[in-house]
Structure 1
Amino acid sequence: MYSEKIKAGAAFPEFTVPLVEGGEIKVGGSNDEGRWKLVVIYRGLHCPLCAQYLEKLQSLKEDFLIQETDIIAISGDGLEKAKSQVAKGSLEIPIGYDLPISVMEKLGLYISNPRSPEETDRPFPEPGLFLIRPDGNVQIVDISNAPFSRPDLAMILRGSTFAREKNYPIRGTYS
């Protein structure tokens, strides 16, 4: 089965997810504040590589905010597992949870079934990263089918800074 992958330059789909800290957040769409958004999709609490990646994202939080880029990490985990992820990593970044499979598909993410009930209790997304411009269009898209392949977050920070400061065009739109 093939799913349509989100294209560079396309409008990032709008959806809402609940936040571990309470409330919910709308992801996607344009914003009037001129801020960029980095959306990191992670596999879930069962993934030790995700924990390391989220800790790296946490360490760069202030740098992204200085560059007028809001960050959020989202998984398909339920609330209790998402809370455990926050506690495990002492995370202070916004963490969304309960990402529906329909949204995973809309984003073009690869979706895996758990290998066992001990791993997790539901299908989950493989890693994805989206840098969204203030107009709601995708500047950078990175979708992986395995936990071992993820972009370097420090490089994403440098690249997003360069793209914003130099009005660098969205690349990869030839089709």
Structure 2
Amino acid sequence: METTKTTLVHYVVDARASRLTVQAFATGLLSAVGHNPTIGVRNFSGDVNFSPEAIQSSEFKMSIQANSLSVQDDIADKDRREIERLMNEQVLETAKYPEIVYEAPMLSITRMGESLYTTVLDGSLALHGVTRRQPVTARVAVFGTMLRASGDFILKQTDYEIKPISVAGGAIKLKDELKFSFEMVAREEE
């Protein structure tokens, strides 16, 4: 019986060519005058070992510097600074929990077409001192030495012992659910 050996290709995330955002949603009595802030992640790294023929061996890991999140919306500098201060000091407590890590030791890969795949990452997210299972589905395209992945997922802040912030005496507060969206570019490591 002949066996074929499948080679995993090691890709490194190109953070400058990638985009990772978090959308928060306002609720409460005055939520109509509040806004739904979009938060961008500036400092992250990651890598993936990927081969569509070796779904049992493919894996992904990403690390985010928690204090690198910034408001992307066009708002007054004073408001931006206040939201970022609250996010760092009260929400993420970045001095105590400086890193956010996502690890998926195995990917389930389905071929959708020539060089196109749907990938399910059954990984764990370590956030705010809590590690929980966090499945993520991504659309993946492989172009020569470049891999592109995109998708989104929802998580609840309270699952990670984070209390959603409120301002103006609770008249404006953020919903528990956050929507994460990503467009990742990874390049084959030489």
Question: Higher relative contact order at CA 8 Å, sep ≥6: structure 1 or structure 2?
Answer: 1
TM-score where L is the length of structure 2: 0.27
Structure whose alpha-carbon radius of gyration is higher: 2
Q: Higher helix share goes to which structure? A: 1
Report the TM-score, using the length of structure 1 for normalisation.
Answer: 0.28
